[in-house]
Amino acid sequence: MAKRLDLKDVDIFYGKFQAVAGVSLSVPPRAVTAFIGPSGCGKSTVLRALNRMHEVIPGARVEGKVLLDSEDIYGPGIDPVEVRRTIGMVFQRPNPFPTMSVRDNVVAGLKLQGARNKHKLDEIAEKSLKRANLWNEVKDRLQKPGGGLSGGQQQRLCIARAIAVQPDVLLMDEPCSALDPISTLAIEDLISEIKKEYTIVIVTHNMQQAARVSDQTGFFNLRATGEPGRLVEIDDTEKIFSNPTEKATEDYISGRFG
């Protein structure tokens, strides 16, 4: 089910302001691609453009092409709602629905899309929670509110919720930045496991994390404040962290700036 993503000359604008310029890259299936770079370099913006989430902000628009297995997600007549069903997202802060139980949170996507079969939903909830390494911790409190879990559990709940709708691609926007090291480890393990079935793109501020979990790393940067962010280089994670082609990448990774 995992599909590949190809970006061709992607420019992203917020109104008149150009946030990102000329990004071209390929995201292979069943692998983790990490985006790193200093704050404001547009890596989260690129991530949100991959499932048209940036369209929530009025005035935001994308030029260029984003292809999911050669199908343009910005093509004419393509429904952004359907794009988001196919390309799921996990956010920086855990955001379970406060009015729903743990179980209802996991199957929220399916329920809100109209699924009714209670038995089947229970099955999917269990499967997704197991996949998210959360089942053992919550199996006795499935009917309790999702907001009652700890931060790390909530984030795994959100991952379970995202994979319950069976997307082809999973986007993660700094999924561990609000979590403690132990929860972070749990999520990283989870990422390594589910990459066998999904295409994963993760934005992170933590370079060790990028080195630990990703197969491919892209470094984003901007030349000066007010300039659009650009993709400096993208390569195998091992190469980026040991012998990057660009000097800017090496400076950033070795802590000389950013």
Partner 1 sequence: MAAPTAVVDAPATFTKLATRRVITNQASSVVVWLAFLLALVPLIWVVWTVVGNGISAVLNSAWWSQSLSGLLAQEEGGGVYHAIFGTLVQGLICAVIATPIGIMVAIYLVEYGAKTRLARTVTFMIDILTGVPSIVAALFIFSVWIAVFGFPRSAFAVSLALVLLMLPVVVRSTEEMLKIVPDDLREASYALGVPKWKTIMRVVIPTALSGMLTGIMLALARVMGETAPVLILVAYAPFINTNVFGGNMASLPLLMTVERNNPTDAGFDRIWGAAVTLILIITLFQLLATFLARLTRVKTS
Q: Which of 6, 61, 95, 135 binds partner 1 (CB under 8 A)?
A: 95
Q: How far is the CB of 119 from partner 1 (least distance, A)?
A: 21
**Choices 155-163, 181-189, 224-232, 241-249 (CB under 8 A): range interacting with partner 1:** 155-163
The answer to the question of residue 56 lying near partner 1 (CB under 8 A) is yes
Q: 160 φ, ψ to 5°?
A: -60, -40
* Encoded tokens for 139: 């199996």
**Toward partner 1, which CB reaches closer, 61 or 93?**
93
The answer to the question of residue 230 lying near partner 1 (CB under 8 A) is no
Task: Return the half-sphere exposure (C-beta side, CA atoms, 13 A cut-off) of residue 33.
Answer: 26
CA dihedral 202, 204, 206, 211 (to 10 degrees): 30
Q: Which of 134, 158, 211, 253 binds partner 1 (CB under 8 A)?
A: 158
The answer to whether 152 and 180 are in contact (CB under 8 A) is: yes
> Who's near 173: CB < 8 A, 6+ residues apart?
44, 47, 48, 89, 90, 91, 92, 203
Beta partners for residue 68, in sequence order = 5, 71
The answer to the question of residue 81 lying near partner 1 (CB under 8 A) is yes
The answer to the question of residue 84 lying near partner 1 (CB under 8 A) is yes
* Encoded tokens for 14: 């917020």
Q: Which of 40, 75, 112, 243 binds partner 1 (CB under 8 A)?
A: 112
**Toward partner 1, which CB reaches closer, 65 or 141?**
141
DSSP characters over 50-109: TTTGGGGSTTEEEEEEEEETTEETTSTT--HHHHHHHEEEE-SS----TTSBHHHHHTHH
Angle, helices 118-131/151-164, rounded to nearest 10 degrees: 120
Site for partner 1 in 126-145 (CB under 8 A): 144-145
The answer to the question of residue 258 lying near partner 1 (CB under 8 A) is no
**Choices 76-84, 183-191, 194-202, 239-247 (CB under 8 A): range interacting with partner 1:** 76-84
Reduced to 3 states, what is the DSSP secondary structure of residue 26? strand
**Toward partner 1, which CB reaches closer, 51 or 237?**
51
**Choices 82-90, 176-184, 216-224, 235-243 (CB under 8 A): range interacting with partner 1:** 82-90
For residue 201, give the DSSP letter.
E
Q: How far is the CB of 183 from partner 1 (least distance, A)?
A: 18
The residue ranges that bind partner 1 (CB under 8 A) are 51, 53, 56, 58, 81-82, 84-86, 88-89, 91, 93, 95-99, 108-109, 112-113, 144-145, 147-148, 158, 161-162, 165
